[in-house]
Amino acid sequence: MSADMEAAVKLFFSSPRFAVAGASTDASKFGYKILAWYHEHSLAVTPLNPRAPSISLSSKSYTTVASPSDLPMPSQTSLSIVTPPKVTIQVLRDANSVGVPAVWLQPGTYDDEVLEYARENFKAAIGGPGGQGSEGWCVLVDGEAGLDAAGVQWTSQKL
């Protein structure tokens, strides 16, 4: 991990709150899996989904918000993004306008324009080539190492 990316990952996981843009009610989709990862690691998480009022995991139901501007404390929230690039750029603009400090762009959520915007407008932007997986930085693959690097005390809980 490069020093710049390590610093970005540490800053991302130093937030007291997290959100998942593109959170899904469908357990087979990555938007559900990423939300579940935060839940399983006992992290405060809010799902973003403009079409579903809530998302239920096996052990908990989460009320959704429609966009980053609806987050209760956006300046204290790091945002994982699981949306197509054309949606991602709009999510990033909204997140930037309300002071979200850090974003994690899952594989498949970005193109060159999205990566450039994220890197220019956030204190920390994780995404692009790298990480432990073959397709780029992924919370499911790189998240635990990131939590540990940031010194976050987390406990594992069942879904």
- Judge whether residue 39 has pLDDT over 90: yes
What's the average model confidence in pLDDT over 62-72?
Answer: 97
According to the model, what pLDDT value does residue 3 have? 81
Domain with 126 in it? 3-149
CATH of the domain at 144: 3.40.50.720
d(CA 13, CA 144): 10
According to the model, what pLDDT value does residue 155 have? 86
Contact 106, 80 (CB under 8 A): yes
Domain count, the chain: 1
- Judge whether residue 27 has pLDDT over 80: yes
What's the average model confidence in pLDDT over 12-16?
Answer: 97
- Judge whether residue 151 has pLDDT over 80: yes
158 inside domain: no
Distances (CA, A) of 11 to 5, 58, 60, 122, 151: 10, 30, 27, 11, 11
| Residues 6+ positions from 38 with CB-CB distance below 8 Å | 18, 20, 45, 80, 139
13 inside domain: yes
pTM for the complete prediction? 0.96
